Amino acid sequence: MNEIQYIGEHLLPGQIGRLTIVLGFVASFLAAVAYFFAEQKKETAEAHGWLKIGRWSYIIHGLSVFVTIGCMFFVMYHRMYEYQYAQAHVSDDLEMRYILSAFWEGQEGSFLLWMFWHVILGWILIRVSKSWEAPVMAPLALIQFFIGSMILGVYIGELKIGANPLLLLRDVMDLPVFAQADYAALLNGNGLNPLLQNYWMTIHPPTLFLGFASTAVPFCFAIAGLWTGRHRDMLQVSFPWALFSASILGIGILMGGAWAYEALTFGGYWAWDPVENASLVPWLILVAGIHTHLVAKTTGYSIKSTYLFYLLTFFFIIYSTFLTRSGILGDTSVHAFTEMGLENQLLIFTLFFLIFPLTVFFLKGKTIPVIAKEEATGSKEFWMFIGALVLLFSAGLITASTSLPVYNKIRELFDPAFEGFVIQDQVAHHNKYQLWIGVFVGLLSGGTQYLRFKEPNFSNHTKKFLTHLGIAGIISLGLTFLMGQWIQVRAWQYQLLLFTGIFSVITNLDYLVSFAKGNLKLAGSIISHVGFGLMIVGILASGLNKEFISTDPFTQRGLLNDEMLKENVILFKNRPANMNGYQITYKQDTLVDRLRHYDINFKKLTKNGQVAEDFTVRPTAQFDNQLTKVAAYNPDTQHYLDKDIFTLIRTLPLKEADVNERKRLEDSLNFRIIEFPIGAIGSFTDSLQTEDSLFISTFDVTIEELIRNASHPDYDPKPKDIAMGLKMKIQERGKPEVYDATPVILLRNNLVFAYPIQINDLAIKIKLPSEFLNKIFETEIELDFKKFLMQKGQSINYNGYQITLDNIDLVDPLSQNTTNKNYFAQKGDVAARAKISVRKNGLPVPQVVEPIFLIRGNQPFPINDKLISEGLHFQFSNINRETGKMTINIAQTDTDVNYPIEIATNSLRTDYIVFSAIIFPGINFLWTGTIMMMLGLAFSWIRRRQELYRSK
């Protein structure tokens, strides 16, 4: 068989990249093995050799990952569509600022992003962890070995191991185009999903994956601690890492929520979607681990649970990877990755990181020191441990619900007829349980602050404890009552939750003042716990009182169930609509790149008629990469300190939303041609047959003026264009409204373009047919000029007109200071202008005409001018230098030219949007609170790190 010799392929980056994928994979394995022996044989002479091999292997592994990523960027940047990954994720029209997003849009790219962070973290660990290097790096290299296998792309028999991101398209697909040797030049890419073309997609994944990757460090320290038995030291060195991880992972999750709230159309920040839950669960367990870690460091209690929490955290990271990437979630999630056919490999990956750490724990857990005496009930360590259990409990409940598809799958294995279960109302289901978690965490994070570690004698402390608790409780009750008025909390469960949230804020503030006395050591914990309380307040305020502005009382026709909220209203352009105290006006729209922005003005008036709020939001409709169809509607939000007003376009008129629909609808319009002279009033009738009656309407059209260099909202003028417009007025007989319309026809490079005008209120569409242009040019070609030789100041008589040549001068090409609309200046033009005035019956005609004699490139061009009202045409065709006489040609035509126009009735309106607006009160409590939680963790991380370095 003849092999095709392909041309135009770039094989080198693929060869390099595929090589480094394998090299990186092997190097990670080698690093894991070498570090393993470096630790196992640490008392022997070989240990140092093993350590060096391990270190160099990991460095080479890291470099290989970088080169692989570099090769992928190279083929994507140069749009080498012969590579499957480039073809799938970039396209000719994709802006380069989205190349990062395109890189991690696919599973392979996001695996590499994850590995990238493990490389960076690993290199830092090699530098800083000294005696911990070998036992910590061995498990980390093992993790890289597993992730690396996901992009390997080799087959062992029938089993596919990984998906290689640098395969050629012709190796993964069989397309007819591959029969052509130069196919590579013919391909175009699919590009990036338009929904992902925003800055969130640039910043959210790297942050979240750094969060994911950073959980591996406490995990590896936990393995190392169990392995070496150096539990106390492990607790010291790993604490900053755990705090760092919780902070970054938290920020990553938070960004996801902010993206959902701000850029996507879900109308909220958290939907308890399985993919969201999957990253929340490890964070909750990690935070539980940080609490027991602090207890363990300070008191020696809870060391075992700290180990378990860190091991579980990483397991749940892998489990979330399994859930989101294996396709098992099916239609229960709106944003899982697309499937890759690697389910079994992911399953092995997941099970390994369940069984391996548990095995290490059960084999080595005996060496963990345990204090025989139980924690005192009045001690901080006891209640912190309870708090950690509550967090674990929360994680367990979320996991149980999120894992329902896994449960279904297992049942199906045994009983193929089994019908899977689904949660009926995901949000209500989770809220119902997590509400109680919130109550417990709020109470514990408040009350526990007043307790002391290793409480020697609680009875001495009891009075102080109860006083502060009591006062904080009373203040919180008062505030709960006040807040309850504002956000209208009714159900007692929510009132209780609100109380605990406020209680958490008040107690922590009191603790800062009365106990910590501004001690920075405790600031991180206080910031985080105050943040938690504020978050609870924000969730309640925005969730319970979310209110639709966009409910129109007139559409409530009892057609549907009463409990159904009317969320959408229709807004007509420039027609203010009043709803729920706001006057909302859709002002205008503009197309920028692929986004059509809609300016929507909100005004809120006080009782005295004064404007209390006045703002404009700009939600957008985002078109697909080919600009043919709306791909998504993006909301816009007006932020206030106490509330957000969230606005979103739900639907556009079909004609606006879909080019094909527009064409279909336009084609079905019944245009008729009518001819009118300027100044005349023409009319036409239209009949509309409905179910029970026939409507006949008559429209009057007055042509006012022929406009050269006409403008139109959709027309973008260029030099040398000939754009003719016909200004007219249209009125439906018997109605007072008169509408202006100026349809335009454009001649550009011998192509004709029509710019029609839609009069929405009359459902009429008007355009100028191409015969219109013929009509204008015909009249000019057939002009019967009479030649006059004139001097400056001279007057002649023509057809009863007195025509005077007032002046001759040159047109300044920069300012183009002429009334002759047919002239467009160009560089190097010499344009002589004849200023001519006309008198009719002794009275001056108001318009001055300026025919131009143009020399352009040594060629003479007369540019005519016209006195439209009289049908007089003037041509300036020569200058005689010797005599000083100008040749002026004059002709008169019939002013009553019949201009053809095309009119269609029943044209669908295009001047409206279907729109939704929601008020989220108190949402800033949520953002402030969550950001404070993460900042508190970050603060603690920095402080604990400094503490660690100082102690060394």
Partner 1 sequence: MKKIHLIGMIMIGIAIYLITTAGTEVATYANFESARQTDQPVKIVGTLVKDKAIVYDEMKDPNYLSFYMVDDNGEERKVILGKGKPNDFELSESIVLTGKMKGDDFFASEMLLKCPSKYTDEEIQLKSQEG
Nearer to partner 1, 198 or 480 (CB): 198
Binder of partner 1 out of 424, 610, 690, 951 (CB under 8 A) = 424
Which residues, in sequence order, are bridge partners of residue 745? 724, 754
Tell the smallest beta-carbon distance from residue 50 to partner 1 (Å): 42
Q: Compare residues 618 and 909 and give the one whose CB is closer to partner 1.
A: 909
Residue type, 941: W
- Beta carbon nearer to partner 1, 604 or 650: 650
Q: Going by C-beta distance under 8 Å and a sequence separation of 6 or more, which residues neighbour residue 423?
A: 332, 401, 404, 429
Question: H or E segment at 595?
Answer: strand 595-605
d(CA 936, CA 291): 13
- Token pair of 919, please? 């008020």
Positive or negative, the Cα torsion across 528, 123, 75, 27? negative
Q: What angle do CA 806, 810, 815 make, to 5 degrees?
A: 115
Query: Of the ranges 507-515, 629-637, 698-706, 739-747, which one interacts with partner 1 (CB under 8 A)?
Result: 629-637
Pick the closer one to partner 1 by CB: 304 or 945.
304
* Shortest distance in whole angstroms from residue 317 CB to partner 1: 23
Nearest to 2 by CA among 184, 173, 181: 181
**Minimal distance, residue 734 CB to partner 1, in Å:** 23
> Smallest gap, in angstroms, from Cβ of residue 651 to partner 1?
5
CA distances in angstroms from 378 to 387, 391, 575, listed in the order given: 14, 21, 67
331 binds partner 1 (CB under 8 A): yes
Q: To the nearest whole angstrom, how small is the minimum distance from the Cβ of residue 862 to partner 1?
A: 37
Query: What is the distance between the alpha carbons of residues 156 and 160, in angstroms, rounded to a whole number?
Result: 7
Q: How far apart are CA 237 and CA 133, in angstroms?
A: 12
Report if residue 83 touches partner 1, rule: CB under 8 A: no
Residue 289: closest CA among 251, 254, 316: 316
Does 304 contact partner 1 by CB under 8 A?
A: no
The amino acid occupying position 942 is I
Q: Give CA–CA dist 233/231, Å, rounded.
A: 6
CB of 669 to partner 1, least distance (A): 18
Q: Is the dihedral of CA 217, 222, 226, 232 positive or negative?
A: positive
CB of 183 to partner 1, least distance (A): 9
What type of residue sits at position 128? V
- Report, in Å, the least distance between residue 563 CB and partner 1: 8
Residue with tokens 């996001």: 110
> Does the footprint of partner 1 cover residue 428 (CB under 8 A)?
yes
State how far the alpha carbon of 881 is from the alpha carbons of 777, 795, 886, in Å.
32, 20, 9
Tally of residues, the chain: 952
What is the C-alpha separation between 785 and 788, in angstroms, rounded?
10
Q: Does 595 bind partner 1 (CB under 8 A)?
A: no
Cβ distance to partner 1 smaller for residue 528 or 634: 634
Minimum distance from residue 400 beta carbon to partner 1 (Å): 6
Q: How far is CA 167 from CA 15, 87, 88, in A?
A: 9, 11, 12
Measured from the CB of residue 335, what is the shortest distance to partner 1 in angstroms? 11
Q: Counting contacts by CB under 8 A, is residue 191 touching partner 1?
A: yes
Shortest reach from residue 304's CB to partner 1, in Å: 12
- Closer residue to partner 1, CB minimum distance, 59 or 914: 914
**Which 386-405 positions form the footprint of partner 1 (CB under 8 A)?**
386, 389, 393, 396-397, 400-401, 404
Site for partner 1 in 19-58 (CB under 8 A): none
Spatial CA neighbour of 650 closest among 732, 719, 567: 567
* Closer residue to partner 1, CB minimum distance, 106 or 725: 106
* Residue 902 bridge partners (DSSP): 673, 767
Alpha-carbon distance of 550 to 558, in angstroms, equals 17
Dist CA 853 CA 875 (whole Å): 8
Sole window of 150-158, 250-258, 413-421, 584-592 interacting with partner 1 (rule: CB under 8 A): 413-421
From first CA to last CA, the distance across the chain in angstroms is: 70
Q: Candidates 21, 113, 235, 632: give the one binding partner 1 (CB under 8 A).
A: 632
Stretch that binds partner 1, among 204-212, 414-422, 462-470, 700-708 (CB under 8 A): 414-422
Could you tell me the smallest distance in angstroms from the CB atom of residue 334 to partner 1?
Answer: 8
Q: Is residue 539 a contact partner of residue 261, using CB atoms and an 8 Å limit? A: no
Contacts of 342 (CB under 8 A, 6+ apart): 150, 160, 162, 163, 325, 326
What does the angle CA 512 – CA 377 – CA 470 come to, to the nearest 5 degrees?
45
User: Cα–Cα distance between 851 and 833 in angstroms, integer?
Assistant: 6
Q: Which CB sits closer to partner 1, 338 or 459?
A: 338
Q: Which of residues 159-178 bind partner 1 (CB under 8 A)?
A: 169, 173, 175, 177
Position among 15, 359, 367, 377 found at the interface with partner 1 (CB under 8 A): 377
- Closest CB to partner 1 among residues 384, 836: 384
Helix (H, G, I), strand (E, B) or coil at 768: coil
Distance, CA of 769 to CA of 698 (rounded, Å): 22
Q: State which of residues 425, 778, 780, 947 lies at the interface with partner 1 (CB under 8 A).
A: 425
Stretch that binds partner 1, among 420-428, 689-697, 709-717, 756-764 (CB under 8 A): 420-428
Coil/strand/helix, residue 843: strand
Applying CB under 8 A, does 374 fall inside the site for partner 1?
yes
**Can residue 334 be called a binding residue for partner 1 (CB under 8 A)?**
yes
Burial of 777 per CB tally in 10 Å (0-12, 13-18, 19+): exposed
Which of residues 95 and 704 has its CB atom nearest to partner 1 in the complex? Answer: 95
- Of 631-639, 830-838, 926-934, 944-952, the window that binds partner 1 (rule: CB under 8 A) is 631-639
CA 529 to CA 525: how far, in whole Å? 6
Q: What residue type is assigned to position 895 of the chain? A: T
Closer to partner 1 by Cβ: residue 557 or 720 = 557
Rounded Cα gap, residues 676 and 898, in angstroms = 5
CB nearer partner 1, residue 265 or residue 847: 265
Residues 895-914 that bind partner 1 (CB under 8 A): 909, 912, 914
The residue from 26, 161, 423, 544 that contacts partner 1 (CB under 8 A) is 423
**CB 668 to partner 1: min, Å:** 17
Q: Please select the residue that binds partner 1; options are 304, 411, 429, 597, rule is CB under 8 A.
A: 429
| Other beta carbons within 10 Å of 616 | 14
Give the shortest CB-432-to-partner 1 separation in angstroms. Answer: 8
Q: Which stretch binds partner 1 (CB under 8 A): 132-140, 375-383, 484-492, 531-539?
A: 375-383
Question: How many residues of this chain bind partner 1 (CB under 8 A)?
Answer: 68
Per CB under 8 A, which region of 135-143, 203-211, 553-561, 931-939 contacts partner 1? 553-561
Q: Which of residues 559-588 bind partner 1 (CB under 8 A)?
A: 559-561, 563-570
Q: Which of 229, 341, 420, 713 binds partner 1 (CB under 8 A)?
A: 420
CB of 555 to partner 1, least distance (A): 5
CA distance 320 to 276: 9
- 158 belongs to the binding site for partner 1 (CB under 8 A): no
The residue (of 154 and 400) whose beta carbon lies closer to partner 1 is 400
User: Is 385 a residue that touches partner 1 (CB under 8 A)?
Assistant: yes
How far, rounded to the nearest angstrom, does the alpha carbon of residue 593 sit from its chain's CA centroid? Answer: 15
- The contact set with partner 1 (CB under 8 A) reads 87-88, 91-92, 169, 173, 175, 177, 185-193, 331, 334, 338, 374-375, 377, 382, 385-386, 389, 393, 396-397, 400-401, 404, 419-425, 428-429, 433, 555, 557, 559-561, 563-570, 630-633, 650-651, 653, 657, 909, 912, 914, 916
